[in-house]
Amino acid sequence: MVAPHGGKLVERLDFDEKKREEAYEMPRKTIGIDEARDAANIAHGVFSPLEGYMCREDLEHVLEHGRLANDLPWTIPIIMDVSKEEIKDIIEGDELALFYGEMPIAIMNVEEIYPYDKKVYAESVFGTLSAEHPGVSNIMAKKEHLIGGRITLLNDPPTDFQRYKLWPKETRVLFKERGWKSVVGFQTRNAPHAGHEYVQKTALTFVDGLFVNPLIGRKKSGDFKDEVIISAYEALFKHYYPKDTAVLAILETEMRYAGPKEAIFHAIIRKNFGCTHFIVGRDHAGVGKFYGPYDAQEIFYEYPDLGITPLFFRSFFYCKKCGGVVNEKICPHGTEHHINFSGTKIRAMLASGNKPPPIMMRPEVADAILEYEEPFVG
């Protein structure tokens, strides 16, 4: 099976009750659910080789070179921001307890507290300083300092999707048990339409298994709600996917909308889950018109040492003459015969309570979505 990124799957867990009790005696920092999920992602190896929140050297290398200080590919900083107030009694070398509400999530060994330049961060990760970019506005709203250091997880944060929650160690055992030597990972933040199914099944034709891994977490207004994505995929899997070649499990982390940089990050995560291949479609992890349609594919040529093979897909559409879903490489017919899978159009149909035509979305999938009164993030 493919080695985890950096060669070793990180595991930093201590679920001992005594350790949890110790956390109540430590200086405390309150974190939100997204941060709690990322703490769990670090500790369960989703973000291997990271063992904690980035210190300055790693952050600067990531921003300047798209690599960790040890030269391993890495494009999205994993950071913990802190206010002056929060760190007034903390010095490097201290232990800090990270609490989600009243639940101790992790203990951090504080290795470094340092300032950072948000503009440098935004330019490097998002390629823009525009406040209209959700990632930029998010980083600009963060506190002025960062705190770096290894963490130890004390509790898994709560999830609404326990049924689909798997960690890399678990998917690796699962793939092995299924006898899959090659596995293609599919990242999504959407309910599936016919184009997604086409891409997934085309990729699956060439490998042993398909790992559909929807991203659950903070998203922008207008995106599908998490529970809707899961219901839609449940319907698709039930009616159209063979049980022994496809797996559905979630990834809980926020969307960064960093386009190409996030595509590399998403690929690394799936490598840690045990995938050998990763699907990169049009405008992967993009938002608005901030990135070119295939920027997220181009960036992979800068990373010959990524350790996971990207599978690039161009635009796909339904061709009335071909009578099926095709792409520009395999369809000779003019655009007048094509029906595009416009996410905006499909969402508009669903928002008005209408089922998209079956050539665009499976009826069972549309039914699953339409069971929700408000399927989109407000």
Partner 1 sequence: MSDGKKKYTTVSIPTPLFRKIEKIIEGTGFTSVSSYVTYVLRELIAEHEGEEEPFTKEDEERIKEKLRALGYLD
Residue numbers annotated as active site:
189-190
Q: Quote the least distance from Cβ 225 to partner 1, whole Å.
A: 22
Report 4-23 residues binding partner 1 (CB under 8 A).
4, 6-9
DSSP state of 276: S
Taking CB under 8 A as the rule, does residue 169 contact partner 1?
yes
Stretch that binds partner 1, among 54-62, 100-108, 257-265, 333-341 (CB under 8 A): 54-62
In order of 133, 224, 298, the CA distances from 121 in angstroms are: 13, 28, 21
Q: Are 309 and 278 in contact (CB under 8 A)?
A: yes
Cα-trace Rg, the chain: 21
Report 24-43 residues binding partner 1 (CB under 8 A).
none
Half-sphere exposure of 98 (CA within 13 A, CB side): 32
Q: Quote the least distance from Cβ 252 to partner 1, whole Å.
A: 16
Q: Quote the least distance from Cβ 335 to partner 1, whole Å.
A: 31
Other beta carbons within 10 angstroms of residue 305's beta carbon come to 8
Half-sphere exposure of 376 (CA within 13 A, CB side): 15
- Binding-residue pattern over the window 73 to 112 for partner 1, x denoting contact by CB under 8 A: ----------------------------------------
Report 230-289 residues binding partner 1 (CB under 8 A).
247
Nearest Cα to 299, choosing from 312, 314, 318, 316?
312
Q: Which is nearer to partner 1, 169 or 201 (CB)?
A: 169
Q: Are 10 and 81 in contact (CB under 8 A)?
A: no
Q: Which is nearer to partner 1, 269 or 319 (CB)?
A: 269
Place of tokens 């250091």: 149
Taking CB under 8 A as the rule, does residue 163 contact partner 1?
yes
Q: Which is nearer to partner 1, 134 or 209 (CB)?
A: 209
DSSP state of 67: B
Taking CB under 8 A as the rule, does residue 145 contact partner 1?
no
Binds partner 1 (CB under 8 A): choice among 88, 141, 205, 301: 301
